[in-house]
């Protein structure tokens, strides 16, 4: 049983969906603290002038992701929808994808929290990518008591997982012996950035999933393989 987890980020890049693709159970860490350096309320799209940050306004304070309130209003929705229309109207899958993205963006002002909005968007994308056979769980439903590695080990124990998939950048702080001691194999994602035509723009890696689906539709990259 393979488990992966991550905070619910704002229209994340395709590496996020690769972790979902490789897992049987995916846990959204929604009750962890908001970080200004995490991509919880921003990501990048590719414009004709290069990458541009797309930011979801929030009412910032020190709180968990499922407690942060969204500050976006109808003016932000209209401005964002117009910008995406202008930047992607020549993309191959624009007519298929834009109405869906437009609909998701329109839900921002009425979402209960930042985590709630991000979850809605990620689960929509996962379903359209054909990843809805995975089991999705909120960490806030697990009543976890530990922190760091111990929290992940506790999570795996609660859900019966014997393999945990981690991002490659976490190698420096995971204590692998602790996982083995608890009967869990620790694996690191072998994700490679997806290269695809980007509507006549210079190739730029690891843009938001919005950029990928506008150009490639709701099709997973060829060559992705399960563990």
Residue range 56-75, pLDDT digits in tens: 999 999 999 999 999 999 99
In Å, how far from its chain's centre is CA 1?
21
222 by DSSP, 3-state: which? coil
Angle between helices 14-22 and 114-128 (to 10 degrees): 70
- Give yes or no for a contact between 168 and 193, defined as CB atoms under 8 angstroms apart: no
Residue range 207-220, pLDDT digits in tens: 999 999 999 999 99
* Whole-number Å distance between alpha carbons of 131 and 24: 10
Q: Would you say residue 171 has pLDDT above 90?
A: no
Question: Residue range 149-176: average pLDDT?
Answer: 94
pTM of the entire predicted model? 0.96
Residue range 82-93, pLDDT digits in tens: 999 999 999 999
């Amino acid at each position: 049983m393979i488990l992966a987890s991550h905070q619910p980020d704002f229209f994340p890049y395709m590496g996020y969906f690769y972790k979902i693709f490789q897992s049987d159970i995916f846990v959204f860490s929604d009750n962890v603290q908001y970080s200004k350096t995490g991509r919880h309320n921003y990501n990048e799209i590719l414009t004709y002038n290069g990458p541009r940050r797309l930011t979801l306004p929030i009412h910032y304070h020190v709180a968990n992701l499922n407690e942060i309130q969204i500050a976006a209003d109808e003016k932000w929705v209209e401005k964002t929808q117009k910008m995406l229309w202008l930047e992607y109207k020549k993309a191959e899958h624009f007519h298929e994808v834009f109405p869906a993205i437009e609909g998701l963006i329109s839900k921002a002002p009425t979402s209960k929290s930042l985590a709630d909005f991000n979850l809605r968007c990620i689960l929509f994308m996962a379903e359209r990518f054909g990843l809805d056979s995975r089991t999705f769980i909120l960490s806030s439903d697990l009543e976890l008591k530990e922190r760091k590695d111990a929290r992940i080990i506790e999570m795996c124990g609660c859900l019966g997982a014997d393999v945990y998939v981690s991002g490659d950048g976490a190698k420096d702080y995971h204590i692998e012996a602790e996982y083995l001691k608890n009967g869990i194999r620790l694996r690191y994602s072998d994700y490679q950035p997806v290269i695809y035509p980007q509507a006549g723009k210079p190739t730029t890696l690891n843009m938001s999933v919005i950029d990928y689906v506008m150009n490639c539709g709701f099709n997973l990259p060829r060559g992705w393989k399960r563990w």
